[in-house]
Structure 1
Amino acid sequence: MAIAVQKGQVARWIELLQEYDFVIEHRSGKSHGNADALSRRPCPEDCKHCTRQEGKEVVSARIFRTDQLSNEWKDSHAQQEDSDIKPILEWMKASAPKPKWSDVSAMSSTTKSYWAQWDSLLIQDGVLCRKWENGRGDRCHLQMVVPKAKEPDVLQLYHSGCSGGHLGVKRTLLKIQERFYWVHCRDDVEDWCRKCTSCAAVKGPQIRSRGALKLYNVDAPWERIAIDVAGPFPETESGNKYFMVVMDYFTKWPEVFAIPNQEASTVADKLVHEVFCRFGVPLEIHSDQGRNFESPIFQETCRVMDTQKTRTTSYHLQSDGMVERFN
């Protein structure tokens, strides 16, 4: 069916094109530079990494827009005083070819990092800059290479200053990369944001403090009990769909009762007539935060019996682990 549809479409196109005189010629893929430039980046003349190089006659469609640096940051004197940048700056001003490894091997790791990016460096108005090209290849920025003494000024301006707004690491880094570059810039931005007192005061501590764990000391049977309700289950002939578990913390003795529902009145009635009347009133009852245990009826029962009521923390079954394990 699909083949028939395709043949029909071809037939209609042939009928329409019969009105014109034209010649169909094959055009190789490398000749489609007008279309390929929109979807791929052409290989450079000395490309050594790609086995499928586009034709060198294809005109590059990349548009480079170079931003000019502001005058207040054009400070070559600070770069001259930076021991890591000074050698690179002098070589670049002398229009020297890329130095050999033997010339930089004894220098600092920062100087070596700039040396490794030699092809991306240039001199503009006497200032050492770095060309930064985005992933699409359609835009190129000039980033001023920032000397060590000026790094705090840049971080202060773009994070803590009026134009910074105390943004996070990612957004602060993006703003800085629009105009500046230095080795380990990301690490310095992360460290600056982490140590910012204004950000710390708003965000608070990363690690929240928790209450200290403690052990409950139980001295006698039925002094402290735990209670829980499980279900619903398939209804029995007696109409029961839930079961209520009561356990003693001292002896680990369990009592299980089948109940028709988990309403607060049903739970309180079963607890009084089946537990309190047989074993006595405990000093403390522990349960989860179920609505039946938190209801006014259950709370009033505990108040009348002079029993202290405790509860687990939210979404933390370990707080009532004895009953949960038994279930």
Structure 2
Amino acid sequence: NEDLQLDDPGAGPKLRDLECSPNLGSDGSPSPSLVVNDGLLYYRGPKHKRNLRPQEELKLYAPTALRGTLCCYYHDHPTAGHLGIAKTLARMQSRFYWPKMASEVKRYVLSCPVCQLTKPSQRKPAGFMVPISPQRPWEYAGVDFVGPLPRTASGNSYILVFVDYFSKWIEVCAVRDATARVAASKFINEVFARHGAPRYLISDRGSPFVSELFDSVLSTLGSTHRLTTAYHPQTNATERVNRTLKTSLCLVFCCTDLCDRLCCMSDYGLAVILHVLYCLLQALILFIDCTNV
């Protein structure tokens, strides 16, 4: 209806401007996508792939007052069949147009009470989360690299982080490169030499951790290597420690030349944080049998 288009805040100005200047839009620029035909505003869009009639290439610019009615007709009507978002939108786009049409149709279909009551969910149910529950220190450990960071005077630009899942004790090492050789060497010197080999070592799927060298070192020392699910790093508790560590280094050690030398001080600061579960210092949790406390 021409009156509805003229009264519409979106279509009205465009219709009046095009009637005065058919080749110009409301801002004075050429408007090849909007045309006036028989006093009505149309959108000249790409022809629908199922549309065989060339005259339907012009899509009526639907005023705001008619959009709800159109959604109802193309989705709720007995001949529409309460189809899904994509099919409902495709049918409407073959004849009509308005700005942000896709989001409005999606919102309408998702809020349809009939569909919500009768249609089964097409999504697979989420799997049950199985938390990691270590029973002793260094039964489960995580490892990850932080960086690259600004290179220091010592030439270091990465931080290698190991965390014990039971006590939350961390071992941090400033290193030059994030390679399998570096990770294996630090695991031997910083973890195995001090705490023994963890039963399970969890890492992401980064190239330093999926190499044959790193796996060979772990298996030789008696540790089982487990990888996190791709694109789901939350399994590795080291990710959360990394965030705290980076915040601490940024706030306390503004001088990047000293950052690698003071890493151990940040490590100490995190180590003496009270563990919420046991209300003991992490150092005590790590080095004392908590079952006898």
Q: What is the TM-score with the length of structure 2 in the denominator?
A: 0.46
Larger gyration radius, structure 1 or structure 2: 1
Q: Which has the higher contact order (CA 8 A, sep 6+)?
A: 2
Q: State TM-score, norm by structure 1.
A: 0.42
